[in-house]
Amino acid sequence: MKNIAVFASGSGTNFQAIIDAVESGELQAEISLLVCDKPGAMAVERAEKHGIPTFVFSPKSYINKEAFEAEILKELEEADVSFIALAGYMRLIGPTLLFKYEGKMVNIHPSLLPAFPGKDAIGQAIAAGVTETGVTIHFVDDGMDTGPIIEQVPVPIEENDTANHIRRKIHDVEHALYPRVLQKLLHETKIETY
């Protein structure tokens, strides 16, 4: 059984989908750690409810990113984490973590990358007037949502869709897709990217 860590900054709905998949046996892994950069985030409550250890920190209390990533790395090593899933973690990963977990860290993003990277991808899609957005799972590199793409699923934008409608449709796709892709990544030897 592989030990994984989930990084989240907010409400943690994708984190919950991963927890549910582990508890149902759909995802064969142990969630050894939640890393959260927002004390008081709902994701922390979810972890506590399911008995998952947490490392919660406030970036402002560190001298720089290297300092808090060094502490995260120590926590990951103590928890014997071999794979990381970013689930709404709103920070770029720096070299301290990338060096140790290159090729073993993935992110989920609410657009069809390379379109609409970064924050508020749904708002970006609405502003652009596109008729389709989607969900992308990709390996993490040192750029903003630029790593090799593992899987994408399109989500149509209907004429009367509000941002909330689109968000709900995207969440439905994310919550089914992420655990399935994580299972594949953790238990298959060759993963195609594009």
* Total-model pTM: 0.94
Q: Is the pLDDT of residue 40 over 90?
A: yes
Phi, psi torsion values for 126, nearest 5 degrees: -65, -45
How close are the terminal C-alpha atoms of the chain, in Å?
A: 28
Q: Binning pLDDT at 50, 70 and 90, where does residue 100 land?
A: very high
pLDDT of residue 1: 82
Count CB atoms within 10 A of the CB of residue 60.
7
pLDDT of residue 134: 98
What are 78-88's pLDDT values in tens digits? 999 999 999 99
CA distance 53 to 31: 9
Share of the chain above pLDDT 90, in %: 94
Calpha distance 112→97 (Å, rounded):
25
**133 beta partners:** 155
**Measured between alpha carbons, how far is 130 from 116 in angstroms, rounded to an integer?**
11
Enumerate domains of the chain plus CATH numbers.
2-187 (3.40.50.170)
pLDDT 10s digits, 113-161: 999 999 999 999 999 999 999 999 999 999 999 999 999 999 999 999 9
Distance CA 89, CA 66 (A): 17
- pLDDT tens, position by position, 56-75: 999 999 999 999 999 999 99
Catalytic residues: 109
Contacts of 1 (CB under 8 A, 6+ apart): 28, 29, 30
DSSP 8-class letter at 119: S
Query: What is the rounded CA–CA span in Å between residue 61 and residue 38?
Result: 12
Q: What is the pLDDT of residue 120?
A: 94
Report residue 44's pLDDT band, with 50, 70 and 90 as the boundaries. Answer: very high
Length of the chain: 194
